[in-house]
Structure 1
Amino acid sequence: MNVRRLIPSTALAGAVTLGLVSLSACAGSSDAADGGKGGKLDVVASFYPMQYLAEQIGGGHVAVDTLTKPGVEPHDLELKPRQIGELGEADVVLYLKGIQPAVDKAIAQAGVANTVDAATLTKLEAHGTGAGHEAHEAHEGESAEEHAEHAAGEEGHDHGSEAGADPHIWLDPVKYAEVAKGVGSALAKADPEHAADYRKNTDALVKKLGDLDTAFETGLKNTATKTFITTHSAFGYLAERYGLDQEGISGVDPESEPSPARIKELQDIAEKDKVTTVFFETLASDRTAKTLASDTGLRTDVLDPLEGITDTSKGDDYIEVMRSNLAALQKALGAK
């Protein structure tokens, strides 16, 4: 996997514009709609979490193309020349900087004007292989500047750019709702004729995400343990939101082999915190999870980072898979 360090959220927000201001009134009126596919607003989404937002908010007014097809591991995506060309022709490009280096590079090279970077629509934080409510408590009371300095100094979740911010914001329903609001505003600016529908659809999606947040909060409030082990350290925001502790086997690469020292550390954590399950994901091998589970006498199960929907996904869309994730966590953590 191509791994680099991410820019802290404060620097990221400053370095990358929302893209909303670049959606001019001229491009956003009938020109944008007429230039789209079949009279629809032409939206290119980088991968599934962005595709879901575009489809839910855009409804029948948008035609959504996704750069990452089902079953493709998003981080390793390589774009074809045709896809790069389509970026420049789209009315709106919706992506998340730091997840897919190939997409970030293509957008920068193509000079795409009408872009929306989801990373600028909420606050990013630093999460390492261990993340959750303890890290959250350690940061409480920090100013934004202190938090940024702290994040820059921590071991980050090293997708994409150059510092320590974790880009997996969509796995926290609250943060994902913040992103949804920004995407709704972007589509309304790009296509003012249907702005009322975009606002209505945004409100409906935000409500669904609010209901999902409530389900997680109540469903994980009383558990026998707060610790879960996963091959892919993608759940730092989720863990922090609901008072859990994520222990990643080996960080960003779900297929990398854990070191003997990390195996020993996780064995100790599993015994101390009464961990029952090692989670793996749908788009990567379960070899690492099974290795650790065999060494520690634990079960294995799926905790889906929702980077893509396939025939093996435990649900047909974001909400369904997240509810499956909740059920898996409740079982593994001994929810009461």
Structure 2
Amino acid sequence: MKMNTKTSGAIVRAFMIAMLAAAISLLSACGKSSNGAVTGKVNVVTSFYPLYFLANEIGGEDAHVVNLIPAGVEPHDWTPKSRDLITVGDAQLFLYNGAGLEGWLDDFLHGLDSSGKTLTVEASKGIALIQGNPEEENHEEEHEAHGDSDVDPHTWVSPKSALVMAKNVLDAFIQADAVHRSGYEERYASLEAKLAKLDDQFETGLSALPNKNIVVSHQAFGYLARDYGLNQVAIMGLSPEAEPRSQDLLKVVEFVKEHKVKVIFFEELVSDRLAKTLASEAKVETMVLNPLEGLTPQQEKAGDDFITIMERNLQNLRQALQ
């Protein structure tokens, strides 16, 4: 049968519309909307990796978790974009560390829809915060890097603090999505057991070591030091990009020599130049002590997570403090 051009065009348009409808149907079946939110699950956004880990562990199959900061990016160097505001605004739950870590937080929260669709939760709530920055007078720029340079924001580096944060995340999930409470509580119990085991490993693994001084590139291990009887000496302050003065560097070298420190620790997401220079000057080794502010792409690919990296931190500490 011969068709005219008008009839043929109508058939083509009808076919394209049918194909588009099928594609939309397929996307709906997969559960994803155009903005990345997933229907049928609680949509959660986290401000950085440790919270992403806790939220994934507790949320499980009932949650869709998105982390704002990509792998390999140091949180101190990151600021949100307008698309991040949209992502958080479309979520039911936004988890942030607090304690001054997210210097951009106040302006960001003010930019959210005032209708209050997104529940915002400070994960560090309830942790006894470490007040005061002993290097503050040398690092005035930290006021910009952190909301409040008088508070150490690096709560998560201690398993004891991570246990508190995990409970806060559980409570947030239950508040945002009470229907799946039993699933959240079951997965939280499993996570709590892992973190409690990690806490015990740090307690027993560090308590009997003869040396307690750790020299680190970035003052990120205050909670770890407080909770497990260590003494932290930092090359740089609370913000890893703060530049120390030459006299401060000399004091660190003198401390290393005087106290027979064997290792200077550096971290992977910031430059190791200063740590390696001082280690060379003091004739000691360098090792990684990871503050877990984020994973590298290589760590992501290898399947590393908060637990495996903290276990590696413990191994390195034990080796350095023998």
Pairwise TM-score range, normalised by the shorter structure: 0.7 to 0.9
Query: 1:72 is matched by which residue type in structure 2?
Result: V
| Whole-angstrom CA distance in 2 between matches of 1:165 and 1:293 | 28
Partner of 1:120: helix, strand, or coil? coil
Partner of 1:308: helix, strand, or coil? coil
Structure 1 residue 315, shift from structure 2 partner:
6.5
Query: 2:280 is matched by which residue type in structure 1?
Result: S
Question: Partner residue of 1:177?
Answer: 163
| Whole-angstrom CA distance in 1 between matches of 2:192 and 2:82 | 36
Structure 1 residue 319, shift from structure 2 partner:
0.2
Structure 1 residue 212, shift from structure 2 partner:
0.3
Q: Which of residues 244, 251, 256 is equivalent to 1:265?
A: 251
Deviations 1:249-291, CA, capped at 9 Å, x for gaps: 0213435543221122112211222201111111011101011
Question: Partner residue of 1:208?
Answer: 194
Question: Partner residue of 2:183?
Answer: 197
2:289/2:313 contact within 8 Å kept = yes
Question: Partner residue of 1:165?
Answer: 151
| Whole-angstrom CA distance in 2 between matches of 1:39 and 1:70 | 27
Structure 1 residue 163, shift from structure 2 partner:
5.0
1:76 and 2:106 aligned: no
| Whole-angstrom CA distance in 2 between matches of 1:306 and 1:290 | 20
| Whole-angstrom CA distance in 2 between matches of 1:48 and 1:58 | 15
Deviations 1:114-151, CA, capped at 9 Å, x for gaps: 10111324221225468xxxxxxxxxxxxxxxxxxxxx
1:43/1:62 contact within 8 Å kept = yes
Question: Partner residue of 2:55?
Answer: 54
2:133/2:149 contact within 8 Å kept = no
Query: 2:162 is matched by which residue type in structure 1?
Result: Y
| Whole-angstrom CA distance in 2 between matches of 1:80 and 1:162 | 22
| Whole-angstrom CA distance in 2 between matches of 1:327 and 1:105 | 40
1:255/1:287 contact within 8 Å kept = no
2:209/2:318 contact within 8 Å kept = yes
Deviations 1:42-100, CA, capped at 9 Å, x for gaps: 00111101101110010110001111010111112122211111211110001112212
| Whole-angstrom CA distance in 1 between matches of 2:180 and 2:273 | 48
1:126 and 2:131 aligned: yes
Give RMSD over aligned pairs.
Answer: 2.4
1:87/1:107 contact within 8 Å kept = no
The range that moved more, 52-61 or 113-122, is 113-122
| Whole-angstrom CA distance in 2 between matches of 1:224 and 1:122 | 29
1:46/1:103 contact within 8 Å kept = no
In the alignment, structure 2 segments of 5+ residues that lack a partner are 1-35
Of all paired residues, the percent bearing the same amino acid is 40
Partner of 1:231: helix, strand, or coil? strand
Kindly tell me the number of residue pairs found equivalent between the two proteins: 277
The range that moved more, 289-298 or 305-314, is 305-314
| Whole-angstrom CA distance in 2 between matches of 1:162 and 1:114 | 23
Where do 1:294-333 residues align within 5 Å?
294-313=280-299, 316-333=304-321
Say if 1:46 and 1:76 are closer, same or farther in 2 by CA, change over 3 A.
Answer: same
Partner of 1:229: helix, strand, or coil? strand
Question: Partner residue of 2:111?
Answer: 109
Say if 1:127 and 1:306 are closer, same or farther in 2 by CA, change over 3 A.
Answer: farther
Partner of 1:49: helix, strand, or coil? helix
In the superposition, the TM-score normalised over structure 2's length comes to 0.80
In the superposition, the TM-score normalised over structure 1's length comes to 0.77
1:280/1:302 contact within 8 Å kept = yes
Question: Partner residue of 2:46?
Answer: 45
In the alignment, structure 1 segments of 5+ residues that lack a partner are 1-34, 131-154
| Whole-angstrom CA distance in 2 between matches of 1:312 and 1:251 | 27
| Whole-angstrom CA distance in 2 between matches of 1:292 and 1:220 | 25
Deviations 1:216-253, CA, capped at 9 Å, x for gaps: 11111122311011111100000111110010002134
| Whole-angstrom CA distance in 1 between matches of 2:90 and 2:149 | 31
